[in-house]
């Protein structure tokens, strides 16, 4: 505890870091306040409760703004969708591949295209949001056409403002602006979920609540291990003589993450898990098979649902890793910089060697990711409340762990630059990518 208090004092003794932390807190407060500003023309008392399914997942990311019919009702989700689309286009479309290789000018053009696409996606999602979640509740007190127009304008403005907040957190805060907004939305639900779980268990169930908290602690530790686990590939750099000085001759490492795809496979799989139940509704009442499928895949605690969910996550993990990690590009960069893997010839053999390692570590990584994704369902089966069980795994826990670890690295770098002892006992956050030189 004494070391922790000393570290906090060191953090706030660095003016630049102190200002950035305070700026981040201020921007996050603005974001949370905007989540409670209801769209004009809506009677909040007539709105339904927390949605379920994919809408419930979005509402969790936005800290309740979705179910509150807030001006931040779509938050930065359209921007994330646009970023994913552009990321996939840079992999499969030569025009965007060329643009990505143009350096800073290319990145600026991609960012401009992303912003324009964000507005288009916001309008499309806004129409679905209003017609599917707000109008059916009967909470709208003005004409439908006027409400639709004003809501689309305000939702688009709210999304762009959230983008601006994220950029400001990255620029003037402690970084990871967009991810920070998602994380604060998820964390904002935790106190309410914990209180609800305590009230549900009552005084006679305090022992169960303590056990649940202990299990949650070990789950978080396991997710941190999965998030930070890397396979280091040794790279030897040849010695070069420049101006009478010898450079290179050092051994560095390329860290390849066991879970290189992050939370994207879970998001992709989650979006497809509604298809079986949706198709079954078309033939509902006409076929026993359709009724069985509809009932089974509407219950996310059923073993059939979780088996299909896990398989989809494993498939998408391999797919997303394949399009985001390019062994040929890594091998080419190593060769250009005079680096090589000891015992492996440069060029195609190095690319094949790296590809083999990625394939080997992706399998256990995908299985562990699938296990984390179905943990909330297992927790509910074990008797944990539905709201509190969402923090036992899935996208929410992975995002929280990832963002918190990145934030710790940012703070760590400031402390070490000022010759203070770091956040960890060793003075160095384990698996910090800045510790390695990536060829």
Q: What residue ranges define each of the domains in the chain, with the CATH number in brackets?
A: 1-173 (1.10.3370.10), 196-414 (1.10.3370.10)
Say what the pTM is.
0.77
Of the two residues 113 and 421, the one the predictor is more confident about is: 113
pLDDT one-digit tens code per residue, 12-65: 788 888 888 899 999 999 999 988 888 988 888 887 766 666 667 677 777 778
For 95, list phi and psi in degrees, rounded to 5.
-60, -45
The DSSP call for residue 39 is P
Q: Is 236 exposed, middle or buried, given 0-12, 13-18 or 19+ CB atoms closer than 10 A?
A: middle
Q: What is the mean pLDDT of residues 217-231?
A: 90
Torsion of CA 132, 121, 369, 97, to 10 degrees: 160
d(CA 219, CA 214): 9
Range with the poorest average pLDDT among 73-82, 110-119, 201-210, 269-278: 269-278
Task: Read off the pLDDT band of 264 (50, 70, 90).
Answer: confident
Count of helix runs (H) and strand runs (E) in the chain:
18, 5
Give one word for 299, left, alpha or beta, with left for phi > 0 and alpha for psi -120 to 50: beta
Q: Has residue 270 got a pLDDT over 80?
A: no
Rounded to whole angstroms, the maximal C-alpha distance in the chain is 84
Of all residues in the chain, what percent carry a pLDDT higher than 70? 88
- Cβ atoms of 123 and 75 closer than 8 Å: no
pLDDT band at residue 426 using 50, 70 and 90 as cut-offs = very low
- Of 136, 132, 178, 172, nearest in space to 403 by CA: 178
Q: Which residue has the higher pLDDT, 165 or 262?
A: 165
- pLDDT of 43 reads 85
Question: Average pLDDT of 162-178?
Answer: 87
Whether the pLDDT of residue 178 is over 90: the answer is no
pLDDT beyond 90 at 154: yes
Q: Is the pLDDT of residue 319 over 80?
A: yes
**pLDDT of 289:** 77
Residue 434 is predicted with a pLDDT of: 40
Q: How high is the pLDDT of residue 435? A: 41
Lowest-pLDDT range, 38-47, 150-159, 199-208, 377-386? 199-208
Helix axes 177-187, 53-61, angle to 10 degrees: 110
pLDDT value, residue 152: 92
Contacts with 105 (C-beta within 8 Å, 6 or more apart), sequence order:
none
């Amino acid at each position: 505890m004494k070391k922790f208090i000393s570290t906090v004092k060191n953090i706030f003794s660095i003016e630049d870091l102190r200002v950035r932390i305070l700026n981040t807190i201020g921007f996050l407060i603005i974001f949370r306040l905007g989540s409670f500003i209801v769209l004009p023309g809506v009677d909040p008392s007539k709105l339904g409760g927390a949605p379920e399914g994919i809408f419930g997942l979005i509402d969790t990311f936005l800290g309740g703004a979705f179910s509150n019919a807030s001006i931040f009702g779509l938050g930065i989700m359209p921007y994330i969708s646009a970023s994913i689309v552009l990321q996939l286009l840079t992999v499969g479309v030569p025009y965007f591949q060329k643009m990505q290789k143009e350096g800073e000018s290319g990145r600026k053009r991609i960012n401009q295209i992303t912003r324009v696409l964000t507005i288009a996606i916001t309008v499309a999602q806004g129409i679905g949001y209003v017609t599917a979640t707000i109008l059916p509740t009967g909470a709208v007190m003005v004409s439908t056409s006027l409400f639709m127009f004003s809501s689309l304008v305000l939702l688009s403005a709210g999304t762009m403002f959230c983008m601006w907040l994220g950029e400001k957190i990255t620029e003037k805060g402690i970084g990871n602006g967009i991810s920070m907004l998602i994380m604060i939305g998820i964390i904002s639900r935790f106190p309410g979920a914990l209180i609800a779980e305590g009230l549900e268990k009552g005084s006679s169930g305090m022992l169960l609540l303590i056990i649940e908290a202990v299990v949650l602690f070990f789950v978080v530790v396991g997710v941190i291990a999965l998030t930070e686990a890397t396979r280091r590939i040794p790279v030897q750099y040849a010695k070069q003589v420049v101006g009478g000085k010898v450079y290179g001759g050092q051994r560095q490492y390329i860290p390849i993450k066991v879970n290189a795809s992050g939370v994207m496979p879970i998001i992709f799989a989650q979006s497809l898990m509604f298809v079986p139940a949706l198709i079954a509704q078309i033939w509902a009442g006409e076929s026993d098979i359709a009724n069985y499928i509809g009932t089974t895949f509407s219950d996310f605690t059923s073993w059939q649902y979780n088996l299909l969910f896990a398989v989809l996550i494993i498939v998408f993990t391999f797919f997303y890793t394949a399009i985001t990690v390019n062994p040929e590009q890594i091998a080419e960069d190593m060769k250009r910089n005079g680096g090589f893997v000891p015992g492996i010839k440069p060029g195609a053999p190095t690319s094949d060697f790296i590809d083999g390692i990625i394939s080997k570590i992706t399998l256990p990584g995908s299985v562990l990711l699938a296990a984390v994704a179905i943990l909330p369902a297992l927790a509910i089966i074990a008797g944990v409340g539905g709201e509190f069980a969402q923090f036992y795994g899935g996208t929410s826990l992975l995002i929280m762990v990832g963002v918190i670890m990145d934030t710790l690295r940012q703070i760590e770098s400031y402390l070490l630059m000022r010759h203070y002892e770091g956040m960890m006992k060793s003075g160095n956050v384990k698996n910090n990518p800045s510790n390695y030189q990536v060829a």
